[in-house]
Amino acid sequence: MASAFRPQQARIPPALAIPIPLLTKAIGNLFCFIYRFKIGLCQLTVTPDKERNIKHARKAIKEAAQKGAQLVVLPEIWNSPYSNDSFPVYAEDIDAGHDASPSTAMLAEVSGQLKITIVGGSIPERCGDKLYNTCCIFGTDGKLKAKHRKIHLFDIDIPGKITFMESKTFTAGETPTIVDTGICHDICFEELAMIYASRGAHLLCYPGAFNMTSGPSHWELLQRSRAADNQLYVATCSPARDAGAGYIAWGHSTLVGPFGEVIATTEHDEDIIIAEIDYSILEQRRTRLPLAKQRRGDLYRLVDIRRLDAHCRL
């Protein structure tokens, strides 16, 4: 009867099998795959002093690595105050690199030096006449592995509480990133997380800066939902709360497991969370609760437009 529901057709193109983890470790001349490793979430205080923010982030990354983290995540907009007035001033030309992008130059240097992977939160990126909210991922060799431009811009207008229009300054990105990264408001869109899962994701990282209105209601709820719906890990990293800032972040950086369980979290002050991720339990969780086999492809389908276009060109 289950075959009549055509679960494999609920994802177009069909979902990929869980791939071998990307993290590897050298042992002599051999490489072994790492199924269990530590992640570091650096909840940082952000100031108007960009040079200080970069030095502070470097220090936090090194501290996380010293505590055993092999993957380190930074917050959304960690090198700049979170305001439309600040974004153009603090924006960097990431593609030009070096002096044109001191924030990413630091991330490249530290990731290669410490032989860790860094999900570099996000910074304002200048590309031509456009600005993007951009996350850069650096590998253990210090090289840029991927660049994710925030797809869903944060526009909110709740009278008497908060009004903020990210779209006044930033341009929305157009491409999901295959190293499984979203930024802040991207977490509100389950379709994006479903696409990542169908591409074989193990872990979704969301550098985010939820505020004092959306944070209490949605921050943990969305993380646990994305994790449980897709049976994978979700990591979020927020700036620390600054009550004197124009935009006040909620904090509460968190790691959630594939059953929607909170593995590690913190409050709103500056902190570094170190927690363990075990990829080997993903298949166990999905076997015990086989959601992929229970989907109703005869009733609904999720279409990954970019993968479908690539598939059609083959």
Active site residues: 76, 150, 184
**Residues ≥6 apart with Cβ < 8 Å to 292:** 7, 15, 286
- CA dihedral sign of residues 186, 125, 95, 103: negative
How far apart CA 213 and CA 250 sit, in angstroms, is 8
How far apart CA 81 and CA 58 sit, in angstroms, is 18
Using an 8 Å Cβ cutoff, are 68 and 108 in contact?
no
| Cα-based angle 267, 269, 275 (whole degrees, multiple of 5) | 55
Phi-psi region of 135 (alpha: psi -120 to 50; beta: other; left: phi over 0): beta
Nearest C-alpha neighbor of 156 from the set 82, 87, 102? 82
